[in-house]
C-alpha cells in the first residue's frame, strides 16, 4: 500500500503484483453508481483537490497499472484511463 492519496486526504492505493491497482474512489466507472457503462472512466462525484487527484492518476498509470479497481463501477482498463486523462488535458 502506498500513500499516494485519493479523492480525499488519507486515502490509500493498493498496488498488486499483477498490475492491478485498488484505487477506491480516486475515479469512478460509468454513471448511476457504475450501473451504466461501468468500464468508462469518470471523475469521482467528489474530489477534495482535483489537481492532486489528476497527479495521482498519472502516477498510477506511469507506474505501469494494468487495471484500476474503483469503488463505483469498473474495473477500468489502464489504456481507457490514459485516453480519458488525455482528453481531459485537451
pLDDT at 10: 72
Integer CA distances (angstroms), 50 to 3, 19, 57, 69, 82, in order: 17, 24, 11, 19, 16
CA dist 67 and 26 (Å) reads 13
Scanning the structure block, which residue is given the C-alpha cell 487527484?
53
> For each of the chain's 90 residues, which pLDDT tens digit applies?
555 666 667 778 888 999 999 998 899 999 887 888 999 999 988 888 888 888 889 999 999 999 999 999 999 999 999 999 988 886
- Note if the pTM is more than 0.95: no
Integer CA distances (angstroms), 14 to 19, 33, 36, 83, 90, in order: 10, 22, 26, 22, 29
* Polymer length in residues for the chain: 90
Amino acid at each position: 500500500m502506498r500513500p499516494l492519496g485519493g479523492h480525499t486526504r488519507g486515502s490509500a492505493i493498493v498496488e498488486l503484483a499483477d498490475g492491478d491497482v485498488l484505487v477506491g474512489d480516486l475515479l469512478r466507472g460509468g454513471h448511476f453508481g457504475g450501473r451504466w457503462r461501468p468500464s468508462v472512466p469518470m471523475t469521482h462525484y467528489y474530489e477534495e483537490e482535483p489537481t492532486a487527484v489528476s497527479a495521482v492518476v498519472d502516477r498510477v498509470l506511469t507506474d505501469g497499472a494494468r487495471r484500476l479497481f474503483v469503488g463505483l463501477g469498473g474495473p477500468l482498463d489502464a489504456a481507457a484511463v490514459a485516453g480519458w486523462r488525455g482528453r481531459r488535458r485537451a
